[in-house]
A and B are shown apart, each in its own frame.
Chain A
Amino acid sequence: MNIVNFTPISAFLGGSLIGLAVIIFFVFNGRLIGISGIASNFLTSKDNRFDNFLFLVGLIIGPIVYKIFTQQEINITISNSVYLLAVAGLLVGAGTRIGGGCTSGHGISGIGRFSLRSIIATITFMIVGILTVLVKSLV
């Protein structure tokens, strides 16, 4: 194991902002942020549909606001074939619905409430994610 590209301060600051969003949403609207839940409910449920829509719009506006204020480019690297991305998208979509949450819903909102269910879910998707990356590096 070599530690590379480690950015603890920006990670912690960004994480704090995410925590702030989670807690504002909870205290004011009485709901927990789980992006897979908000996105899939927007698609399939009439309850809170406009709220969910606005949250998703905000999520897309966020990086634009960052760019305007910092004048910095946001660089991302997605180095997969279209086919692999489509398979990954299906797995993430179906998996988060079957398992009832994603990195935010289980990993932050769930663990923050000390939910054992979410702790187990988070450990599970992290282990499988780590193994998937390991297998990818071997083939």
Chain B
Amino acid sequence: MSKIISLVCGVIFGIGLTVSQMIDPAKVLGFLNIFGDWDPSLAFVMIGALIISSPFFHLFKNNNKPIFSEKFSYSQTKEINKKLIVGSSLFGAGWGLAGLCPGPAIASLALLNINSAIFVVTMFIGFYLVKLSEPTTQAR
């Protein structure tokens, strides 16, 4: 059953990116262009996602176990360190350059766009390079 849930959640997430137009890098770059022609839409995507999801995190986090899995498993790291800031900065730079982050980049492969494909391939190379350099890092 967890397999069906994974597929369904991917589909819903992909539809959400399309409805909100976040699948379009031009829309994302519009949000980051605060000092020019600003498109605040992305903030409303986050507000919508947080309003729906946040109450449930707090309702369910004390439950013994998820419905189709033995236990909750996600990063409980609270550490705020140099890696967090450096990594997020590198990500921000790439995000600002192309207007693509991992979700929309992968979803836009559906449109058979060669530029998305180039981005996704190099993104996976980036994942792999970090994995090679830090074999014990737990990704989330």
Closest chain B CB from A133 CB (angstroms): 4
Q: CB-nearest residue of chain A relative to B40?
A: A6
Assign chain B's interface to a size class: 35 or more
CB <8 Å contact, A52 and B6:
yes
Question: Contact check: which of A29, A74, A99, A122 meets B111 at CB < 8 Å?
Answer: A74
CB <8 Å contact, A54 and B6:
yes
- Within 77-117 of B, Cβ neighbours of A (below 8 Å) are at 77-80, 83-103, 105-111, 113, 115-116
The majority secondary structure among interface residues of chain B is: helix
Q: Give residues in B with beta carbon < 8 Å to A.
A: 1-3, 5-27, 29-30, 32-54, 56-58, 60-61, 65-75, 77-80, 83-103, 105-111, 113, 115-116, 118-131, 137, 139-140
Q: Give residues in A with beta carbon < 8 Å to B.
A: 1-8, 10-37, 39-41, 43-45, 50-52, 54-66, 74-80, 82, 84-109, 111-117, 120-122, 124-134, 136-137
